[in-house]
């Protein structure tokens, strides 16, 4: 990767890793509430909900592992992240359109009702994962040092924290 492209790619990788790890750990701590959210969305037969919980959790964990491994696995990780985020966004849009008042429990147990802010959050994460995927075709001759990766990782943490709580922050400043 030449110049800043290496930094952008690592930033996007770390952002998706942190986001999906946060989402996975939040859901795993409260599996019954996540299953209830899927049930409340009323998009699939109830008999499939437990399987969907397992598949969503597995998909999030696999996304984290693939992006952590990097190299040839990064493209699969970014594609899986984009796929998850598009599916989640579609479900959120349907819930909003059908005026279902429920929480998504996207990052663990929550009473906050699904809103368009959740869709905007996912749109930003889709953009981030897409940029990460697009930068994979760049020249791989520049390898970042561990301190450089550490600095990028530390810069990514507040970005993810703000982006995950986008709706709350918008409401705060209104």
CA distance 79 to 98: 29
At which residue do the structure tokens 């986008």 appear? 166
Q: What is the pLDDT along the chain (174 residues), one digit of tens a residue?
A: 456 888 899 999 999 999 999 999 999 998 999 998 999 998 889 999 999 999 999 999 999 999 999 888 999 999 999 999 999 999 999 999 999 998 888 887 788 889 899 999 999 999 999 999 999 876 555 678 899 999 999 999 999 999 999 888 888 888
CA distance 116 to 114: 7
Listed by start position, the domains of the chain span 4-173
Whether pTM exceeds 0.85:
yes
**Of 14, 1, 3, which is closest to residue 149 (Cα–Cα)?**
14
pLDDT value, residue 1: 46
């Amino acid at each position: 990767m030449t110049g800043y492209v290496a930094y952008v790619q690592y930033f996007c990788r770390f952002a998706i890793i942190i986001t999906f790890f946060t989402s996975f750990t939040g859901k795993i701590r409260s599996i019954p509430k996540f299953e209830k959210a899927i049930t409340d969305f009323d998009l699939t037969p109830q008999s499939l909900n437990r399987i969907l919980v397992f598949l969503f959790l597995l998909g999030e964990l696999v996304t984290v592992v693939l992006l952590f491994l990097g190299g040839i696995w990064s493209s699969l990780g970014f594609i899986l992240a984009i796929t998850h985020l598009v599916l989640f966004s579609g479900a959120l849009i349907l819930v909003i359109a059908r005026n279902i008042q429920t929480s998504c429990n996207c990052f663990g147990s929550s009473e906050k009702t699904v809103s368009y802010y959740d869709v905007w959050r996912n749109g930003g994460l889709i953009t981030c994962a897409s940029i990460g995927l697009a930068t994979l075709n760049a020249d791989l001759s520049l390898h970042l040092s561990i301190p450089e990766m550490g600095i990028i990782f530390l810069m990514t943490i507040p970005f993810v924290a703000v982006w995950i709580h986008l709706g709350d922050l918008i409401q705060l400043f209104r």
